[in-house]
């Protein structure tokens, strides 16, 4: 067995180890289930230990022979996040084959109404932690000549988003970083893909108090399982930019070719909270 493959301890090779941040709910959980079903060992990361343990137990029931499921209770914004991930992988004889930077947060409402602490939390999670983890992963992967980082951005990364300004700006950063680093790594065997989903049916919108915004009524939301399947397909084909679903693909083109004087007010209206 190659050292890049995970071992479940019974001698059967897994399809490689995937580390997924924010894997206890929504898109991250759907990804964890899919990767486990496709014979990967999975390290699932989130902060809430109790939910993490319950999720890990459910995933173990799906795991193929030779694959293991490892829960890691971790706030990925903490300085020691990469060390904790490395230690966990080493303890279980696993290698970092695929990293999915999925954990993210949003903030609904005008920037002027946000607290400085919330804005800093968003930047720490959506930008700083994602950058640190991406940097660490590609440093580990490049000497081996293989590996894949998958960063979850958003359609919002293609347009300024009044009423979710910091969130949209953070996802713009994720798209830009991922495409640039993927290019830098050309020919190295390491890929950095970025996922650009439209709205997805998860707790995310309610958590950022955007459930009453117009976009929730006018834009169709995809199921997290459909997003996960699209990501897995994109990963398998080595796609750099993965846009799940027809309407997101259409909007991703429209948002890039239409002028901002048109798209910014429209986006601001869609993101405005209804009274
Ligand atoms: N939902 C959408 O419509 C949508 C659309 C486009 C893009 N996205 C992006 O997709 C990603 C996942 O979204 P989702 O809707 O699936 O989110 P979600 O349902 O709210 O789940 C978020 C997950 O991240 C974990 N998490 C949050 N903060 C963390 C931290 N500091 N450290 C480690 N784990 C953390 C949460 O668990 P704990 O709270 O226990 O840590 C949870 O498992 C995000 O990056 C989001 O921006 C979502």
**d(C-alpha 237, C-alpha 45), whole Å:** 25
65 DSSP 8-state letter: T
Residue list, ligand 1 pocket, CB within 6 Å: 21-28, 45-48, 51, 75-77, 102-105, 125, 152, 154, 197, 199-200, 202-204, 207
The Å distance, Cα 21 to ligand 1 centre, comes to 8
- The pTM of this model reads 0.95
Q: What is the pLDDT of residues 61-74, one digit of tens each?
A: 999 888 999 999 99
> In the numeric block, which tokens belong to residue 47?
């902060």
- Residue spans of the domains in the chain: they are 17-271
Q: What percent of the chain has pLDDT over 90?
A: 89
**d(C-alpha 96, C-alpha 218), whole Å:** 40
Given a cut of 90, whether residue 3 has pLDDT beyond it is no
Q: Which residue has the tokens 């990967």?
A: 40
Listed in sequence order, the DSSP H helices in 70-208 are 81-91, 116-122, 130-141, 165-184, 204-207
Q: What is the pLDDT of residues 126-176, one digit of tens each?
A: 999 999 999 999 999 999 999 999 999 999 999 999 999 999 999 999 999
Q: Is 167 a catalytic residue?
A: yes
pLDDT averaged over the chain?
94
Q: Which of 19, 20, 21, 22 to mutate to test the pocket of ligand 1 (most atoms within 8 A of CB)?
A: 22
The Å distance, Cα 11 to ligand 1 centre, comes to 34
Given a cut of 50, whether residue 5 has pLDDT beyond it is no
- Give the right CATH number for 17-271 from 3.40.50.720, 3.40.50.280, 2.40.50.140, 3.10.580.10: 3.40.50.720
Nearest CA to ligand 1 atom 21: 25
Given a cut of 50, whether residue 8 has pLDDT beyond it is no
pLDDT of residue 13: 61
The Å distance, Cα 104 to ligand 1 centre, comes to 4
Q: What is the pLDDT of residues 243-265, one digit of tens each?
A: 999 999 999 999 999 999 999 99
């Amino acid at each position: 067995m190659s050292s890049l493959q995970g071992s479940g301890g019974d001698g059967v090779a897994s399809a490689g180890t995937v580390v997924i941040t924010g894997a206890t709910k929504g898109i991250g959980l759907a990804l964890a289930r899919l990767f486990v079903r496709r014979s990967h060992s999975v390290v699932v990361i989130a902060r809430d230990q109790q939910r993490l343990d319950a999720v890990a137990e459910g995933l173990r029931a799906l795991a193929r022979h030779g694959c293991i499921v490892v829960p890691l209770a971790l706030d990925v914004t903490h300085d020691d996040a990469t060390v904790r991930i490395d230690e966990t992988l080493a303890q279980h004889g696993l290698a970092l084959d695929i990293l999915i930077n999925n954990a993210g947060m949003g903030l609904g409402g005008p920037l002027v109404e946000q607290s400085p602490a919330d804005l800093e939390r968003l930047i720490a999670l959506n930008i700083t932690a994602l950058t640190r983890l991406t940097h660490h992963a590609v440093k580990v992967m490049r000497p081996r000549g293989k590996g894949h980082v998958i960063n979850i951005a958003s359609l919002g990364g293609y347009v300024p988003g009044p009423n979710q300004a910091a969130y949209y700006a953070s996802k713009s950063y994720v798209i830009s970083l991922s495409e640039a680093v993927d290019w830098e790594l050309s020919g190295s065997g390491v890929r950095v893909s970025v996922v650009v989903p439209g709205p997805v049916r998860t707790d995310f919108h309610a958590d950022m108090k955007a459930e009453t915004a117009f976009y929730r009524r006018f834009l169709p939301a995809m199921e997290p399982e459909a997003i996960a399947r699209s990501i897995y397909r994109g990963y398998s084909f080595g796609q750099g930019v993965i846009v799940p679903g027809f309407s997101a693909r259409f909007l991703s083109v429209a948002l890039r070719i239409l002028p901002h004087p048109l798209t910014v007010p429209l986006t601001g209206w869609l993101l405005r909270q209804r009274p």
